[in-house]
Chain A
Amino acid sequence: MPPSQRIERFIVGIPQLLVGTAIFVSIGINFANIVGRYLFDAPILWAEEILDYLMVWSVFLAAVLVTWQGRHIKMDLVSVLIPSPFREIVSAVTVAVFAAVCAFMVAQSWTVTHLAWTLDQRSVAAEIPMAFAHAGVLLGFAGMLLAVLLRLRQYLKNAFGSETEAVQKQVTETFGTFD
């Protein structure tokens, strides 16, 4: 397997597997909690807490996938009108700021995650280490930083298309065309 495919498998395949599993596990926990509460008078006390942290992890792992595909929501109605070479310069600045923001958040998330680990903070109901919950954000921003750097060429060349094109692609892939 070529290195590029191996990287893609790592940065796309693993998060896809995790977020796909997370949504079905979340649906299952939520359903079990409702059934437990109404049918057996035995709600799952840790359900809400675990669901919240699962969501944090899923959102930031899926954000890595969104970054890989260049599909973060933006308002590009004006920027698509910028002529070359200014558009490429704007793209370069965008990538630089994107990477800087991710690096900034990695640093801040590391501080909080490390502190929570050191103090052995735990959640109230499930008593899971809070360092684990916070680590989802840390891992997400680190993954996004990696994705931006690995897809640098596509970002600089605006290879992902406009926001409107992305939504058009998304709906036609799901529903086909009406012809």
Chain B
Amino acid sequence: MSWFVILFPLALLLLGFPIFVILLAASACLLMLFMHVPLAVAHQALFGALDKFSLLAVPFFLFAGEIMGVGGMSKRILDWCLSIIGGVRGAQGLTTIGASTVFGAISGSAPATVAAIGRFTYPTLRDAYGLKFATGIISATGAIDIMIPPSISMILYGAAAEQSVARLFIAGVLPGLLLALLNAIYVVYYARSRGIRDTQAVGWRSFFTATRRGAWSLGAPAVILGGIYGGIFSPTEAAGIACVYGILVTKFIYRDLTWKGLWSVGVNSMYVTAQIMIIVASAGVFSWILTVNGVPQAAVQMVQGLAEHPWTVLMVMNVFLLVVGCFIDPASAILILTPLLVPICKAYNIDLIHFGVIMALNLAIGMFHPPFGLNIFVVQALTRAPVAAIYLGVIPFVLLALVALVIVTYVPWISLFLTSFI
């Protein structure tokens, strides 16, 4: 049975079956061939996996991210960042990183962040830094979005590992900022070493103008994160508030959307929601079957026979997750692997919030890691740049992200410090 659990889904995965079909096909076969329980448990486990209030944050954050990305919020955030760091050499690159970090606190989707920020920064970045660097930085900074709350990856991990979403959100802040800082240091070094002059005149006047123009956009992260950590809303309620805020600002204050556009955002966000949530539901059935058959315990015993120290286990998990992240999207990877990896973490006394951050960071790197990182192909479609140029441009950012991963993995304080305040 153990071999069937591993090989059957793996074979279907390689053959390109939809992930939810793989999970349900494997579950149905296991139920019929190896287990003596009523088959209707498949429906019960599937329904139970979705019947969680915390998961309602997924459609809400996807809607909020999409509405704020389609409207002019990202442009105003960019202008605000530029008004602060416009005088520094490397200003255009730093603005891309800064705006992705701030926009990450609104949006839950990395491709959406890449598109929303990249469409405004790409022309100036390409002219100042060249094609490779411009496409590389835009591909890479989308990953910051996965770490900075709200993060769909964190919500899914929280549901799968039964951890607090609010704690996971805040645990991702410092690792996300670390990733942004490392990227920023590289951008400044790159700009100085090549004599790139992309600065622009800044002053209090331009800062106040940009702040006034962008106040509503900058208010979104304040409402979302302030609401959660001010103890006013749960993450799910904050997600709903973000939707109302997004509708009010984009439709009625900035007037960036028609009623038809607003309706399209609603329907589109439900497409993405269904793509993710049907995997959540199917993974619920599969993980229930794994659990009742003691598969996680068998995995723990196997790992304990191979590794003695937590740091070794974390190193092996990092390599494994990096490889997985290159091939599978973060949502699917989290939902399939969390039930197997969490018992191993428990056996080695690895904090599950810390591990959630490590997992999210690994899978975020997979989003722009050559050759298959999704952000690379999103940027390729948006810029029509050759994929080979994007590969070359993204390599320094992959290396920086790996440095961040090592630091985040072996210095748990970075993930856990802020959690002690809630």
Contacts and interface: CB of A to CB of B under 8 A. Distances in A.
Interface string A29-48: 01101100010000000001
Nearest to A48: B53
B381 A27 contact: no
Given A73-B331, A77-B327, A175-B115, A104 B50 contact: no
Contact of B270 (A22, A79, A133, A178): A22
A177 B241 contact: no
Contacts of A101: 21, 24-25, 28
Given A34-B240, A73-B18, A75-B16, A58 B270 contact: yes
Contacts of B99: none
Contacts of A66: 271, 274-275, 278
Nearest to A54: B56
What is the interface of chain A mostly: helix, strand, loop, or mixed?
helix
A28 B34 CA distance: 46
B70 interface: yes
B268 A174 contact: yes
A51 B57 CA distance: 11
A55 B275 contact: no
Contacts of A48: 53
A119 interface: no
Contact of A55 (B39, B50, B267, B271): B50
A134 B43 contact: yes
A59 B278 contact: yes
A73 B332 contact: yes
B133 interface: no
A61 B243 CA distance: 21
B18 A74 contact: yes
A122 interface: no
Interface string B96-137: 000000000000000110111011001100000000000000
B43 A105 contact: yes
B374 A164 contact: yes
Interface string B216-241: 00000000000000001100110011
A110 to B, nearest CB: 9
Contact of A177 (B13, B24, B247, B382): B382
Interface string B239-252: 01101100100000
A117 interface: no
Contact of B59 (A16, A26, A63): A26
A104 B28 contact: yes
Contact of A23 (B118, B237, B269): B269
B277 A178 contact: no
Contacts of A55: 50, 55-56, 59, 277
B327 A75 contact: yes
B40 A108 contact: yes
A114 to B, nearest CB: 10
Given A27-B240, A30-B236, 17 more contacts: A16-B267, A23-B267, A34-B240, A63-B278, A69-B271, A73-B331, A77-B327, A90-B15, A97-B17, A98-B17, A105-B43, A167-B374, A168-B380, A171-B111, A172-B382, A175-B116, A175-B119
19 contacts: A23-B267, A26-B56, A26-B59, A34-B233, A34-B241, A59-B273, A66-B278, A72-B18, A73-B329, A73-B332, A90-B15, A98-B17, A98-B18, A98-B21, A137-B43, A168-B377, A168-B381, A169-B381, A174-B66
Interface of A: 16, 19-20, 22-24, 26-27, 30-31, 33-34, 38, 48, 51-53, 55-56, 58-63, 65-66, 69, 71-80, 90, 93-94, 97-98, 100-101, 104-105, 107-109, 111-112, 115, 133-134, 137, 164, 167-172, 174-179
Which 6 A-B residue pairings sit nearest by Cβ, starting from the closest? A79-B16, A30-B240, A62-B274, A168-B381, A72-B18, A76-B16
